[in-house]
């Protein structure tokens, strides 16, 4: 099948991407379309194929099968100067000052060094780090060093920013600052793609996501569309334990005391309310809850992938808690 034609409405179009490593299929026929100007999340556990996918999109490694266009070009490396990339493996020269490190990263993308130094100063001051401009990287805290590398990723003002697990290793304050930085870039029309194994980040930031598990993408599209695959849930507490109103509850609904939880009936909540009132159930409380992205992930990717995701997040949280 021929991939869709590049469009100004799409920052990336990929179809049928496949990558094998020594007989292991890391990526298995992945299709992705990333809308220009969006914040797009690639959500999945470690080992799901996120990093391999990002590297193929960037042209760092070639797919064994499939094709990809990036910013309308079928040779991604030809537009590398318009892309900012933060790899999962962080790396700064320890003896460089923070300002020089940012300027150097800009120079790698074609930004004149003098202009890079000026922008580095403005960026660091704008993020409350002006005092550390001339500090060596080895003198920076882990969070500050990662912020410096992030600023180096955007110093050349790219049209597309790709971040591989950008929140990994950051404390809550620096995670919040990173989220603000991502939103600020998107507000300027920049397309942001980031991979993560933390559902909360994707749910807070992303308009569109791709769920990836076992090298496959069972879902790619708007977050709302993923959540809408599940029906809203009803929480009900009644004064009465039984009565004719029970017939209005979905078959198989099992109470916990006088508390009930079930999917919202197809016909909506109004017939249910009518039956509860006419049957004198004695409504103590009734609420309707929309499914979260976690529920959608479980439904789409399966319980095994969700367990892998939980283990990945748990391992990272334990590592960040160590002194």
Q: b/e per residue, 273-312, with b = 16+ CB within 10 A?
A: eebbeebebeeeebeeeebebbbbbbbbbeeebbebbeeb
Whether the Cβ atoms of residue 281 and residue 242 lie closer than 8 Å to each other: no
Assigned domain for 308 exists = no
* Same domain (yes/no): 215, 255: no
* Same domain (yes/no): 65, 213: yes
In the prediction, which pLDDT does 314 show? 62
Assigned domain for 313 exists = no
Structural domain tally of the chain?
Answer: 2
* Same domain (yes/no): 133, 271: no
In the prediction, which pLDDT does 6 show? 43
In the prediction, which pLDDT does 315 show? 56
In the prediction, which pLDDT does 3 show? 38
Cα three-residue angle 74-75-77, rounded to 5 degrees: 145
In the prediction, which pLDDT does 216 show? 95
97: which DSSP letter? B
* Same domain (yes/no): 222, 270: no
H or E element at residue 155? none
* Residues present in the chain in total: 323
In the prediction, which pLDDT does 2 show? 37
Task: Single out the residue in 212, 227, 242 at which a domain terminates.
Answer: 227
**How is residue 235 written in tokens?**
């929480």
* Same domain (yes/no): 98, 222: yes
C-alpha 121/C-alpha 298 separation (Å) is 45
Q: CATH number for the domain including 175?
A: 3.40.50.300
In the prediction, which pLDDT does 8 show? 55
* Same domain (yes/no): 215, 166: yes
* Residue found by looking up tokens 């179009």 in the block: 13
Assigned domain for 41 exists = yes
Task: Single out the residue in 227, 242, 259 at which a domain terminates.
Answer: 227
In the prediction, which pLDDT does 142 show? 84
* Same domain (yes/no): 93, 118: yes
Domain containing 277: what range? 233-289
**236 half-sphere exposure, CB direction, 13 A CA radius:** 27
* Same domain (yes/no): 251, 130: no
What is the rounded (10 degree) CA torsion for 76, 81, 84, 90? 90
Which stretches of the chain score pLDDT less than 70? 1-8, 314-323
């Amino acid at each position: 099948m021929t991939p869709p034609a590049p469009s100004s409405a799409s920052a990336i179009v990929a179809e049928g991407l496949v990558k094998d490593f020594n007989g292991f299929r890391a990526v298995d026929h992945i299709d992705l379309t990333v809308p220009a100007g969006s914040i797009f999340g690639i959500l999945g556990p470690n080992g799901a194929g996120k990093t391999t996918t990002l590297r193929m999109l960037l042209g760092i490694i070639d797919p064994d099968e499939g094709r990809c266009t990036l910013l309308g070009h079928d040779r991604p490396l030809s537009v590398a100067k318009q892309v900012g990339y933060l790899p999962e493996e962080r790396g700064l020269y320890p003896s460089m000052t923070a300002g020089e490190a940012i300027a150097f990263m800009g120079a790698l993308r074609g930004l004149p060094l003098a202009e890079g130094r000026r922008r580095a100063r403005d960026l660091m001051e704008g993020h409350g780090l002006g005092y550390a401009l001339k500090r060596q990287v080895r003198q920076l805290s882990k969070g500050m060093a990662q912020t410096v590398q992030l600023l180096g990723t955007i110093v050349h003002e790219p049209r597309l920013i790709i971040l591989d697990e950008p929140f990994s290793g950051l404390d809550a304050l620096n995670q919040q600052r990173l989220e603000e930085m991502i939103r600020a870039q998107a507000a300027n029309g920049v397309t942001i793609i980031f991979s993560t194994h933390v559902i909360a980040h994707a749910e807070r930031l992303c308009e569109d996501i791709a769920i990836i598990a076992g090298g496959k993408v069972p879902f790619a599209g708007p977050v709302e569309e993923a959540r809408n695959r599940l029906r809203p849930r009803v929480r009900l507490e009644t004064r009465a334990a039984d009565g004719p109103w029970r017939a209005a509850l979905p078959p198989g609904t099992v109470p916990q005391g006088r508390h009930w939880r079930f999917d919202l009936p197809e016909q909506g909540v109004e017939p249910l309310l009518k039956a509860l009132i006419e049957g004198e159930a004695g409504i103590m409380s009734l609420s309707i809850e929309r499914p979260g992205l976690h529920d959608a992930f479980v439904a789409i990717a399966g319980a095994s992938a969700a367990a892998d995701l939980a283990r990945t997040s748990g391992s990272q949280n334990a590592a960040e808690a160590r002194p």
